[in-house]
Protein backbone atom coordinates (compact mmCIF):
# COMPACT_ATOMS: atom_id res chain seq x y z
CA UNK A 1 0.00 0.00 0.00
CA UNK A 2 1.31 3.44 -0.89
CA UNK A 3 1.04 6.23 1.65
CA UNK A 4 -1.26 9.23 1.36
CA UNK A 5 -0.12 12.78 0.77
CA UNK A 6 -2.17 15.20 2.88
CA UNK A 7 -2.16 18.92 2.08
CA UNK A 8 -2.93 20.42 5.46
CA UNK A 9 -3.92 24.05 6.07
CA UNK A 10 -2.70 25.66 9.28
CA UNK A 11 -3.70 28.98 10.93
CA UNK A 12 -2.65 32.37 9.50
CA UNK A 13 -1.98 33.84 12.94
CA UNK A 14 -4.46 32.64 15.53
CA UNK A 15 -3.55 29.12 16.62
CA UNK A 16 -7.17 28.58 17.60
CA UNK A 17 -7.97 28.34 13.88
CA UNK A 18 -6.39 24.90 13.53
CA UNK A 19 -9.20 22.50 12.65
CA UNK A 20 -9.84 19.29 14.56
CA UNK A 21 -9.26 17.26 11.39
CA UNK A 22 -5.95 19.04 10.63
CA UNK A 23 -4.73 18.32 14.16
CA UNK A 24 -5.78 14.65 13.89
CA UNK A 25 -4.04 14.18 10.53
CA UNK A 26 -0.86 15.84 11.84
CA UNK A 27 -0.91 13.45 14.82
CA UNK A 28 -1.49 10.37 12.65
CA UNK A 29 1.00 10.78 9.80
CA UNK A 30 4.49 9.29 9.96
CA UNK A 31 6.12 12.40 8.51
CA UNK A 32 5.36 16.13 8.35
CA UNK A 33 7.02 18.16 5.58
CA UNK A 34 7.15 21.78 6.72
CA UNK A 35 8.54 24.97 5.20
CA UNK A 36 10.29 26.07 8.37
CA UNK A 37 10.58 23.31 10.96
CA UNK A 38 11.33 25.67 13.87
CA UNK A 39 8.33 27.83 13.05
CA UNK A 40 5.99 24.84 12.69
CA UNK A 41 7.18 23.30 15.98
CA UNK A 42 5.26 26.05 17.78
CA UNK A 43 2.00 24.96 16.20
CA UNK A 44 2.80 21.27 16.61
CA UNK A 45 3.62 21.73 20.30
CA UNK A 46 0.35 23.65 20.70
CA UNK A 47 -1.64 20.63 19.45
CA UNK A 48 0.58 18.08 21.18
CA UNK A 49 2.23 16.63 18.08
CA UNK A 50 5.73 15.26 18.33
CA UNK A 51 6.05 13.58 14.93
CA UNK A 52 9.04 13.43 12.68
CA UNK A 53 9.33 16.66 10.80
CA UNK A 54 11.39 17.42 7.70
CA UNK A 55 12.17 20.77 6.05
CA UNK A 56 10.60 21.21 2.61
CA UNK A 57 11.05 24.68 1.17
CA UNK A 58 11.69 26.45 -2.12
CA UNK A 59 15.47 25.87 -1.84
CA UNK A 60 15.34 22.08 -1.43
CA UNK A 61 12.00 21.43 -3.16
CA UNK A 62 13.69 20.13 -6.31
CA UNK A 63 16.01 17.77 -4.42
CA UNK A 64 13.55 16.54 -1.81
CA UNK A 65 10.49 15.91 -3.98
CA UNK A 66 11.91 12.62 -5.32
CA UNK A 67 12.82 11.42 -1.82
CA UNK A 68 9.34 12.19 -0.47
CA UNK A 69 7.72 10.40 -3.41
CA UNK A 70 9.87 7.33 -2.68
CA UNK A 71 8.73 7.37 0.94
CA UNK A 72 5.10 7.65 -0.17
CA UNK A 73 5.57 4.72 -2.56
CA UNK A 74 7.09 2.73 0.34
CA UNK A 75 3.90 3.30 2.34
CA UNK A 76 4.74 6.35 4.46
CA UNK A 77 1.92 8.88 4.78
CA UNK A 78 3.08 12.49 4.67
CA UNK A 79 1.40 15.76 5.63
CA UNK A 80 2.59 18.91 3.89
CA UNK A 81 2.20 22.16 5.81
CA UNK A 82 3.50 25.67 5.20
CA UNK A 83 4.40 28.46 7.62
CA UNK A 84 0.83 29.73 7.55
CA UNK A 85 -2.42 29.06 5.74
CA UNK A 86 -2.86 26.70 2.86
CA UNK A 87 0.22 25.09 1.29
CA UNK A 88 0.86 25.83 -2.43
CA UNK A 89 -0.92 29.20 -2.21
CA UNK A 90 2.15 31.44 -2.72
CA UNK A 91 3.98 28.62 -0.93
CA UNK A 92 5.92 25.46 -1.89
CA UNK A 93 4.25 22.17 -2.74
CA UNK A 94 3.23 22.28 -6.39
CA UNK A 95 6.13 20.05 -7.50
CA UNK A 96 5.31 17.49 -4.82
CA UNK A 97 1.57 17.35 -5.59
CA UNK A 98 2.26 17.13 -9.31
CA UNK A 99 4.83 14.36 -8.80
CA UNK A 100 2.42 12.52 -6.49
CA UNK A 101 -0.21 12.47 -9.25
CA UNK A 102 2.41 11.17 -11.69
CA UNK A 103 3.20 8.35 -9.24
CA UNK A 104 -0.51 7.51 -8.68
CA UNK A 105 -0.35 8.55 -5.04
CA UNK A 106 -3.59 9.71 -3.46
CA UNK A 107 -3.49 13.41 -2.54
CA UNK A 108 -5.95 14.46 0.17
CA UNK A 109 -6.88 18.06 0.98
CA UNK A 110 -7.33 19.04 4.62
CA UNK A 111 -8.71 22.56 4.16
CA UNK A 112 -8.57 25.51 6.52
CA UNK A 113 -7.35 29.09 6.58
CA UNK A 114 -5.95 31.01 3.65
CA UNK A 115 -5.23 34.73 3.93
CA UNK A 116 -6.60 35.42 0.43
CA UNK A 117 -10.06 33.99 1.13
CA UNK A 118 -10.22 35.34 4.69
CA UNK A 119 -9.41 38.83 3.34
CA UNK A 120 -11.81 38.59 0.41
CA UNK A 121 -14.76 37.68 2.60
CA UNK A 122 -14.30 40.73 4.84
CA UNK A 123 -13.30 43.11 2.02
CA UNK A 124 -16.74 44.51 1.32
CA UNK A 125 -15.95 44.00 -2.38
CA UNK A 126 -17.67 41.60 -4.73
CA UNK A 127 -16.79 37.96 -3.98
CA UNK A 128 -18.76 36.40 -6.84
CA UNK A 129 -15.84 36.46 -9.29
CA UNK A 130 -12.25 37.09 -8.30
CA UNK A 131 -8.65 36.57 -9.40
CA UNK A 132 -5.82 35.66 -7.05
CA UNK A 133 -2.66 37.47 -8.18
CA UNK A 134 -0.45 36.71 -5.16
CA UNK A 135 2.81 38.67 -5.04
CA UNK A 136 3.71 40.99 -7.91
CA UNK A 137 7.26 41.65 -9.05
CA UNK A 138 9.45 43.62 -6.66
CA UNK A 139 10.78 45.53 -9.68
CA UNK A 140 8.83 48.75 -10.20
CA UNK A 141 8.83 48.73 -14.01
CA UNK A 142 7.59 45.16 -14.39
CA UNK A 143 5.08 45.58 -11.56
CA UNK A 144 3.56 48.64 -13.22
CA UNK A 145 3.56 47.00 -16.62
CA UNK A 146 1.70 44.02 -15.13
CA UNK A 147 -0.80 46.21 -13.26
CA UNK A 148 -1.59 48.13 -16.46
CA UNK A 149 -2.74 44.88 -18.06
CA UNK A 150 -5.33 44.57 -15.26
CA UNK A 151 -6.90 48.01 -15.72
CA UNK A 152 -9.97 46.70 -17.54
CA UNK A 153 -10.36 43.54 -15.44
CA UNK A 154 -13.86 43.49 -13.97
CA UNK A 155 -13.25 40.74 -11.41
CA UNK A 156 -12.09 41.56 -7.86
CA UNK A 157 -8.29 41.25 -7.63
CA UNK A 158 -6.41 39.76 -4.67
CA UNK A 159 -2.74 40.55 -4.00
CA UNK A 160 -0.25 39.55 -1.32
CA UNK A 161 2.28 42.20 -0.34
CA UNK A 162 5.14 42.66 2.09
CA UNK A 163 5.16 45.59 4.58
CA UNK A 164 8.13 47.32 2.96
CA UNK A 165 6.47 47.41 -0.47
CA UNK A 166 2.86 48.11 0.51
CA UNK A 167 3.08 51.87 -0.07
CA UNK A 168 4.79 51.39 -3.46
CA UNK A 169 2.02 49.02 -4.52
CA UNK A 170 -0.74 51.40 -3.42
CA UNK A 171 1.04 54.32 -5.14
CA UNK A 172 1.23 52.36 -8.39
CA UNK A 173 -2.41 51.30 -8.12
CA UNK A 174 -3.41 54.88 -7.43
CA UNK A 175 -1.82 56.16 -10.61
CA UNK A 176 -2.82 53.20 -12.80
CA UNK A 177 -6.37 52.42 -11.62
CA UNK A 178 -7.34 55.97 -10.63
CA UNK A 179 -7.82 57.57 -7.24
CA UNK A 180 -11.45 56.63 -6.76
CA UNK A 181 -11.22 52.85 -7.25
CA UNK A 182 -12.09 51.02 -4.00
CA UNK A 183 -9.51 48.91 -2.27
CA UNK A 184 -9.46 46.95 0.98
CA UNK A 185 -6.37 46.49 3.11
CA UNK A 186 -6.51 43.39 5.31
CA UNK A 187 -3.60 43.54 7.72
CA UNK A 188 -2.55 41.02 10.37
CA UNK A 189 -5.69 38.90 9.95
CA UNK A 190 -6.69 36.86 13.01
CA UNK A 191 -3.88 38.48 15.04
CA UNK A 192 -3.79 41.06 17.83
CA UNK A 193 -3.37 44.05 15.51
CA UNK A 194 -5.87 42.94 12.86
CA UNK A 195 -6.98 45.86 10.70
CA UNK A 196 -9.43 45.80 7.81
CA UNK A 197 -9.97 49.09 5.96
CA UNK A 198 -11.96 49.67 2.78
CA UNK A 199 -11.59 53.06 1.09
CA UNK A 200 -10.65 54.69 -2.19
CA UNK A 201 -7.08 54.20 -3.43
CA UNK A 202 -6.20 57.84 -2.73
CA UNK A 203 -7.53 57.68 0.85
CA UNK A 204 -5.72 54.40 1.52
CA UNK A 205 -2.51 55.98 0.22
CA UNK A 206 -3.06 58.90 2.62
CA UNK A 207 -3.76 56.54 5.51
CA UNK A 208 -0.56 54.57 4.94
CA UNK A 209 1.53 57.71 4.50
CA UNK A 210 0.11 59.07 7.74
CA UNK A 211 0.51 55.86 9.69
CA UNK A 212 -3.23 55.35 10.14
CA UNK A 213 -2.52 52.03 8.47
CA UNK A 214 0.90 50.93 9.72
CA UNK A 215 3.39 49.49 7.19
CA UNK A 216 3.98 46.57 9.54
CA UNK A 217 2.89 42.95 9.58
CA UNK A 218 1.23 40.94 6.83
CA UNK A 219 -1.02 42.37 4.13
CA UNK A 220 -3.62 41.25 1.67
CA UNK A 221 -4.75 43.93 -0.79
CA UNK A 222 -8.15 43.47 -2.41
CA UNK A 223 -8.85 45.72 -5.36
CA UNK A 224 -12.28 46.40 -6.80
CA UNK A 225 -12.71 45.28 -10.41
CA UNK A 226 -13.15 47.77 -13.26
CA UNK A 227 -16.61 49.14 -13.85
CA UNK A 228 -15.71 49.33 -17.53
CA UNK A 229 -15.29 53.08 -17.96
CA UNK A 230 -11.56 53.22 -18.52
CA UNK A 231 -9.67 53.57 -21.77
CA UNK A 232 -7.06 50.83 -22.17
CA UNK A 233 -3.42 51.84 -21.61
CA UNK A 234 -2.46 50.43 -25.00
CA UNK A 235 -5.15 52.62 -26.58
CA UNK A 236 -3.79 55.69 -24.76
CA UNK A 237 -0.31 54.98 -26.08
CA UNK A 238 -1.69 54.49 -29.61
CA UNK A 239 -3.65 57.77 -29.53
CA UNK A 240 -0.65 59.64 -28.15
CA UNK A 241 1.60 58.21 -30.84
CA UNK A 242 -0.71 59.37 -33.64
CA UNK A 243 -1.04 62.85 -32.13
CA UNK A 244 2.70 63.38 -31.60
CA UNK A 245 3.29 62.78 -35.30
CA UNK A 246 1.60 66.18 -35.79
CA UNK A 247 1.98 68.07 -32.49
CA UNK A 248 4.65 68.54 -29.78
CA UNK A 249 5.01 65.83 -27.08
CA UNK A 250 3.54 68.27 -24.55
CA UNK A 251 0.45 68.97 -26.66
CA UNK A 252 0.23 65.27 -27.43
CA UNK A 253 -0.17 64.49 -23.72
CA UNK A 254 -2.66 67.36 -23.30
CA UNK A 255 -4.84 66.21 -26.20
CA UNK A 256 -4.64 62.53 -25.19
CA UNK A 257 -5.86 63.53 -21.71
CA UNK A 258 -8.79 65.42 -23.24
CA UNK A 259 -9.74 62.56 -25.55
CA UNK A 260 -9.47 59.74 -22.98
CA UNK A 261 -10.41 61.52 -19.77
CA UNK A 262 -7.23 60.30 -18.05
CA UNK A 263 -4.93 62.59 -16.02
CA UNK A 264 -2.05 64.33 -17.85
CA UNK A 265 0.59 62.99 -15.44
CA UNK A 266 -0.78 59.43 -15.80
CA UNK A 267 -0.44 59.72 -19.58
CA UNK A 268 3.00 61.26 -19.33
CA UNK A 269 4.17 58.37 -17.07
CA UNK A 270 2.60 55.78 -19.32
CA UNK A 271 4.17 57.17 -22.50
CA UNK A 272 7.53 57.72 -20.81
CA UNK A 273 7.65 54.15 -19.45
CA UNK A 274 6.51 52.69 -22.73
CA UNK A 275 9.38 54.53 -24.46
CA UNK A 276 11.80 53.11 -21.88
CA UNK A 277 10.55 49.54 -22.40
CA UNK A 278 10.82 50.14 -26.13
N1 LIG B 1 -0.15 30.04 2.05
C2 LIG B 1 -0.56 31.26 2.68
C3 LIG B 1 -2.07 31.39 2.59
O4 LIG B 1 -2.76 30.42 2.33
O5 LIG B 1 -2.59 32.50 2.79
C6 LIG B 1 0.16 32.46 2.11
C7 LIG B 1 1.64 32.38 2.23
S8 LIG B 1 2.47 33.75 1.56
C9 LIG B 1 4.14 33.20 1.65
C10 LIG B 1 2.45 34.91 2.87
C11 LIG B 1 1.58 36.11 2.52
O12 LIG B 1 0.23 35.82 2.81
C13 LIG B 1 1.91 37.34 3.36
O14 LIG B 1 2.97 38.10 2.82
C15 LIG B 1 0.59 38.09 3.29
O16 LIG B 1 0.47 38.76 2.07
C17 LIG B 1 -0.42 36.95 3.34
N18 LIG B 1 -0.78 36.64 4.74
C19 LIG B 1 -0.46 35.55 5.45
N20 LIG B 1 -0.97 35.62 6.70
C21 LIG B 1 -1.62 36.80 6.77
C22 LIG B 1 -2.36 37.46 7.79
N23 LIG B 1 -2.50 36.92 9.00
N24 LIG B 1 -2.90 38.67 7.52
C25 LIG B 1 -2.76 39.23 6.30
N26 LIG B 1 -2.08 38.64 5.30
C27 LIG B 1 -1.52 37.45 5.52
39, 133: one domain: no
User: How do residues 176-210 score in pLDDT, each as one tens digit?
Assistant: 999 899 999 999 999 999 999 999 999 999 999 99
CA of 202 to the centre of ligand 1 (A): 24
77, 165: one domain: no
Pocket test for ligand 1, best of 90, 121, 186, 190 (most atoms within 8 A of CB): 90
153, 187: one domain: yes
64, 123: one domain: no
User: How do residues 19-42 score in pLDDT, each as one tens digit?
Assistant: 999 999 999 999 999 999 999 999
Range of weakest confidence among 82-86, 140-144, 208-212, 256-260:
256-260
CATH number at residue 94: 3.40.1010.10
Residues 121 and 125: their CA atoms lie apart, in Å, by 8
62, 153: one domain: no
User: How do residues 219-238 score in pLDDT, each as one tens digit?
Assistant: 999 999 998 656 777 889 99
**Residue 10 · residue 43 · CB < 8 Å:** yes
54, 91: one domain: yes
Number of domains in the chain: 3
The domain boundary residue, chosen from 71, 89, 113: 113
Domain housing 190: 116-223
Q: Whose CA is nearest to atom 20 of ligand 1?
A: 12
Q: How high is the pLDDT of residue 234?
A: 81
Q: Whose CA is nearest to atom 23 of ligand 1?
A: 189
132, 170: one domain: yes
Burial of 233 from C-beta contacts in 10 A (0-12 / 13-18 / 19+): buried
Pocket test for ligand 1, best of 13, 16, 39, 84 (most atoms within 8 A of CB): 84
Q: What is the pTM of this model?
A: 0.84
Furthest C-alpha separation in the chain:
75
Which residues line ligand 1 at a C-beta cut-off of 6 Å? 12-13, 82, 84-86, 89-91, 114-116, 160-162, 186, 188-191, 218-220
The domain boundary residue, chosen from 205, 223, 241: 223
245, 203: one domain: no
Residue 161's DSSP bridge partners are 219
The domain boundary residue, chosen from 185, 200, 223: 223
Amino acid sequence: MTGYLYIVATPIGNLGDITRRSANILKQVELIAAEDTRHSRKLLNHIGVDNKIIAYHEHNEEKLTGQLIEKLIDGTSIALISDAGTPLISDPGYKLVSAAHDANITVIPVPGASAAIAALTVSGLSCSKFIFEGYLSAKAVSRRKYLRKLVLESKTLIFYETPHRILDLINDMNSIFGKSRSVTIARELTKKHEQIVRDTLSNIKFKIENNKIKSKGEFVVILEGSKGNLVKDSEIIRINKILTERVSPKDGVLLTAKITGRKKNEIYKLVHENDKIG
